Structure 1
Amino acid sequence: MKKILGYVFLLLLTSCATSSNPREGGLIGYWQHKEDYKKRIAERQQRLDDLRREGELEKQKSRDLEDERARLQAQLDEQREMLQRLDVELGQLRETIRQYQAETDAKQKEKRRIEQEITRLQSEIQALQRDTQLSIQQKEQRIQDLNKEIDALLEIAASL
């Protein structure tokens, strides 16, 4: 009986299907395909490590983008302040010119021309404040140009 039982057990062991897939192979499959199991574990670990590295790279990109956004926002805020100062400066110049009493026709014409230039520059400042299409560099250049024009008007007004 022991001999028959041994043969039955041996028959059962040899008739079991084995697989390198841990979900299908069972204990006998593990013994037969131990290296395949280790290889699968190593591959999965490598994939996990790769995904973690990619995740860290994405986090760093996100931090870099946030830093860039903050830098650009600071530049925009600075430009808004500069435009506001230019607008105030033009308002003060307008008031000075308004109070000026021209003594000759030539000076009266110059006064009107300065007032028209002030109106034009204030319109340009307002348009620049609303413009969202220009790049920061383009706006910066336009602000510098406006500043030069205002300085020139101030010199002309001082000579009246």
Structure 2
Amino acid sequence: MKRMTLMVAVMGTLGLAGCATTTDPHEGGLLGGIQGMGSGAYDQRVQEREDRLEQLRQAQQELQTEREDLEARKTRQRREVALERERLAALDRDVTGLSRQVESLSDRHGEEDQRVQALQTRLDDLRGRMNTQQSALDALEGSGMGDAETDLRRRQLEEQRNALREEFDLLMELSLDLAR
């Protein structure tokens, strides 16, 4: 009889273990956990989670590297914009000096001299374009443009500044000719 009771208990346990539909101990209870450990499903789930964790760590490292690259580019672009601002400020100082010379020429040659008036008109135009250049630099600095767009716009602004410098040099030559 004792043997029979033991057999019924073992058969009942095996029957219940066979009814477990999941190897996850959270869902299948004790018998599901035992079955999962026995079949290796538990170890497989642990390995899958460890693999996923490693993938997440790699993704995090890639994002960190990308963030550092973006910060370095941002710093470089800020430096380049600051350098362009310095160049534009130097040109502005030169234009201010030229403006004083034109005023002196105007006093000396008279305000009616067409050459002095033409020089003054060109100088005013140059100042207007320099103000536009300064506004463009301000907009570039505050923009959220991507790297390629920012680099292209900065190069365009450098070319415009170079053209302004050439115009200034021509105006300087004209003022020197008038001063003679």
Q: Normalising by the residue count of structure 1, what TM-score does the alignment of the two structures yield?
A: 0.86
Q: CA RMSD in A?
A: 2.1
Change (3 A) 1:45 1:32: same
Partner Cα separation in structure 2 for residue 73 and residue 84 of structure 1:
16
Partner Cα separation in structure 1 for residue 39 and residue 4 of structure 2:
29
Residue from 42, 59, 62 that aligns with 1:54: 59
Residue from 97, 102, 105 that aligns with 2:109: 102
Change (3 A) 1:39 1:31: closer
2:24 equivalent in structure 1: 21
**Runs of 4+ residues over 2 Å off in structure 1:** 17-23, 25-28, 131-134
Letter in 2 for 1:22: P
CA positional deviation for 1:31: 4.0
Letter in 1 for 2:84: Q
Deviates more, 1:136-145 or 1:148-157: 148-157
CA positional deviation for 1:25: 5.3
Residue from 118, 131, 150 that aligns with 2:168: 150
- For the residue of structure 1 that corresponds to 2:160, the secondary structure is helix
Give structure 2 stretches of 5+ with no counterpart.
Answer: 141-151
CA positional deviation for 1:13: 1.7
Change (3 A) 1:149 1:44: same
Identity %: 22
Letter in 1 for 2:123: I
Alignment of 1:66 with 2:71, yes or no, is yes
- For the residue of structure 2 that corresponds to 1:20, the secondary structure is coil
Letter in 1 for 2:15: S
Q: Aligned pair count?
A: 156
CA positional deviation for 1:63: 1.2
Letter in 2 for 1:12: G
Alignment of 1:93 with 2:111, yes or no, is no
CA positional deviation for 1:32: 3.1
Partner Cα separation in structure 2 for residue 52 and residue 28 of structure 1:
31
Once the two structures are superposed, what CA deviation does each residue of 1:111-148 show, in whole Å capped at 9, x if it has no partner?
Answer: 21111111100010001111237811110100011011
Change (3 A) 1:115 1:31: closer
